[in-house]
Amino acid sequence: MAATSVVVLDRGNNTTCTVNLFGATVVSWRVNNQEQLFVSKQAVFDGKRAIRGGIPFVFPQFGQWAFGPQHGFARVARWHVEKMPERLPSGDVEAVFSLMDDEFTRSMWHFQFRLTYRLILREKELHFNIGVYNPSKELTFSCQLLLHTYFKVPDVRRCQITGMHGCMFIDKTREGAVYQETREVVTVGEWTDRIYQNTMQEHIITNVVSGRKMRIQKYNFPDTVIWNPWSEYAKEIPDFGDDEFPNMVCVEAGRVAAPIVLLPGTAFEASQILQVM
């Protein structure tokens, strides 16, 4: 696959969103020429390995998978362009991508499916509208779905994240033990890998690029994963620089704790809005 197959949504004013058709991975979101997403300098664009950064699309499995790669096949599959970038009357720019079952996906997961991924680039916002459709006449399938967003930050130790107070979380740094979040704001000062359940619809991350705030609004994505490999795990990840961990934080909206169950002929929809404040 040509590793260079990217689609750019350009709103003018140095405000752009770049999507690599490999995984429909958003690899750049620039607002007035300020990059908002982290992509590792070691990221590999070989059309085989998931892109280390941006917004990998996790489906149909979050985490380890007996039948295929970690985090599923969607982030390592070639997506189609349903609609090339088009300027809307509002001045915003919209594009639509899709992925359907094929020999590659069926080699791991014998279900028919259709994913649609609509992106809308606004002045200071990026909108994500996702649809999962089960076209089968007889088979029901269950799946997980998550946007594995890598936010670029000057220093993750100075970031505070709202919207998890009182929520239960699975702590993958402590053998998956379950705890309740007692803090008003979550901070990251060590290896962090947590699956928060039933979180608020809105998260605010402080001290992102140029000291601004990032607002995440999510719909039908009840869970939020927070991840930073810190120094110890950064060294273990081949396509991640040993010294890059202070400059990223993953805040990932998804549906992972309780899988999505799709009966024949039914669909699931979810969306996320990222806003630079």
Instruction: Give catalytic residue positions.
Output: 148, 252
Supply 187's token pair.
């901070």
Question: How many residues sit in the footprint of ligand TA6 (CB under 6 A)?
Answer: 11
Q: Is 244 left (phi over 0), alpha (psi -120 to 50) or beta?
A: alpha
Which of 252, 271, 273, 274 contacts ligand TA6 by CB under 6 A?
Answer: 252
100/237 with CB nearer ligand TA6: 237
Residue 194 is a binding residue for ligand TA6 (CB under 6 A): no
Residue 235 is a binding residue for ligand TA6 (CB under 6 A): no
Which of 10, 18, 47, 63 contacts ligand TA6 by CB under 6 A?
Answer: 63
From residue 205 to residue 224, what is the string marking binding to ligand TA6 with x (rule CB under 6 A)?
Answer: --------------------
Which of 31, 225, 249, 270 contacts ligand TA6 by CB under 6 A?
Answer: 225
**DSSP designation for 198:** S
Indicate the SS3 state at residue 75: helix
Indicate the SS3 state at residue 113: coil
Residue 181 is a binding residue for ligand TA6 (CB under 6 A): no
23/85 with CB nearer ligand TA6: 23
Which of 30, 122, 148, 218 contacts ligand TA6 by CB under 6 A?
Answer: 148
Minimum distance, C-beta of residue 256 to ligand TA6, in the bound complex (Å): 9
Contacts of 65 by beta carbon, 8 Å cutoff, 6+ apart: 71, 72, 108
**DSSP designation for 91:** S
Q: Which of 167, 163, 164 is nearest to 179 (CA)?
A: 167
CA atoms within 13 A on the CB side of 174: 10
**DSSP designation for 172:** T
Cis amide linkage into residue 60, ω under 30° from 0: yes
Q: What is the CA radius of gyration of the chain?
A: 18
Cβ atoms of 214 and 151 within 8 Å: the answer is yes
Minimum distance, C-beta of residue 14 to ligand TA6, in the bound complex (Å): 29
101/223 with CB nearer ligand TA6: 223
Which residues are part of a known binding site for substrate? 52, 70, 75
- The dihedral sign for the CA sequence 209, 128, 39, 109: positive
Residue 172 is a binding residue for ligand TA6 (CB under 6 A): yes
Restricted to residues 86-125, the positions that interact with ligand TA6 (CB under 6 A) are none
Provide φ and ψ at 160, rounded to 5°. -125, 140
Stretch that binds ligand TA6, among 63-71, 93-101, 181-189, 261-269 (CB under 6 A): 63-71
Supply 34's token pair.
């300020």
Which residues are part of a known binding site? 52, 70, 75
Residue 156 is a binding residue for ligand TA6 (CB under 6 A): no
Residues in contact with ligand TA6 by CB under 6 A are 50, 63, 70-71, 148, 172, 193, 225, 227, 250, 252
